[in-house]
Amino acid sequence: MNRFTPGNRIELLRSGGEYFPALAAAIDAAEREVWLETYIFADDEAGRAIAGALVRAAARGVTVRVLVDGWGAKLYLTKRLERTLRDGRVHLLKYRPEVAPWQFRSHRLRRLHRKLCHVDRRVAFIGGINLIDDMNTPHQKPPRMDFAVRVSGPLLNPLVQTMQRLWALVELVQFERSDVPLFPDPIEVPRAGTQTAKFVIRDNLRYRRDIERAYLAAIRTAKREILIANAYFFPGVRFRHALIAAAARGVKVTLLLQARVEYRLLHYASRALYGHLLAAGVTIAEYHRSFLHAKVAVVDDRWATVGSSNIDPYSLLMAREANVFVRDPHFAGELRSELLQMLDTGTRPVERQHWIERPLLAKAVTWIAYGVVRLGMGLLGYGGDEWFPRRKRVPKRPAP
């Protein structure tokens, strides 16, 4: 799963305007099976369009399996849409369904956050786009910005296996009969292109830090440029140090982050990191044109990633995530062009001097939010010194 594999064809899809039609077309062309995983499956125009394609596929005799996160389903999957899927012979499962919402345990934060689909083991979709309309966000006019990829080629082998394994595991823990193997055999997928890539997941067993490690490997070997666009950016110590070290080597490090406030606590807490990064020479630009939901990066015009994983404790420590990492100058250049256009037309740079001179109240809000997040992570038992390092005490010199 962590090896780069040649022979793939990887196409960039920009937000729901490109993603939803491509996904629906692939489902409508299905002949044998459709597997889909998503955090959110909303009862809106986009969600109903994909639900319709799934039901049409099932009516043709295609085996259709849909796995949604229990918390995401609680918020967005209406009983009406769920009934439409089940009545249409779609096999629907919920990952960690909300059984007792009045009881809180830290394991409830271990959600299914990845967005995956494969059709007939010949084409797959990987990215950060939920099944929810781009305009389904309060107080916004331009559509939400996000990315996904359409993949064909040998990269489907690990993707198919991980989707089968998780489906079988969910059926097992929910005491349902399953005809899906918990340990599926590898599949043979023919070459479909010339691009080299690897599929990487994050879970709570064997692959706990694989996505973070893939990022760090690229950052530590960067020679010219690092460009990261991330909706929820709250990295741990190793990640911050890697970015700062890259900037010290003369690498141009640019962070394209969220300007609009969606989750207030994390939004203000993450801004507590700005001062340290700006002082080290890292460029920070906040995207204000619409909501930013992207989780992508480009390094040195040759390495790129698209996926579901934010760079924050939720994605890197708790949730199930999935990213594709691509070594291909053409793909990296295409994604880089998109990010540069976003930087040119939809961002405001965060100037270091302006950041230092911001009002005292703004500073207080930032550090109070940081303290609350730090306390919460500590109480939940996540992060430890990796996200919130303790100050080292300098031993006093003995008296002469």
Helix (H, G, I), strand (E, B) or coil at 387: coil
What is the C-alpha separation between 57 and 365, in angstroms, rounded? 51
Catalytic residue check, 120: yes
Please confirm, yes or no, whether 141 is among the known catalytic residues: no
Contact present, 218 and 303 (Cβ < 8 Å): yes
Q: HSE (CB half, 13 Å, CA atoms) of 123?
A: 15
**For the residues of 309-376, what is the DSSP string, one character each?**
--BSHIIIIISBEEEEEEE-HHHHHHHHHHHHHHHHHHEEE--HHHHHTS-HHHHHHHHHHHHHHHHH
Catalytic site residue 241? no
* Catalytic residue (choose from 94, 118, 267, 293): 293
Catalytic pick from 28, 43, 44, 120? 120
Pick the catalytic residue: 69, 94, 113, 210? 113
Tokens of 378: 């500590």
**210, 300, 312, 328: the active-site residue:** 300
Catalytic residue among 94, 198, 267, 295: 295
300 catalytic, yes or no? yes
Could you give phi then psi for residue 184, rounded to 5 degrees? -70, 155
Q: Could you say which of 94, 115, 118, 267 is catalytic? A: 115
392 is catalytic: no
Question: What DSSP string describes 180-216?
Answer: S-SSPPP------SSEEEEEEEE-SSTTSSHHHHHHH
Cα 167 to chain centroid, rounded? 20
Q: Which residues belong to the active site?
A: 113, 115, 120, 293, 295, 300
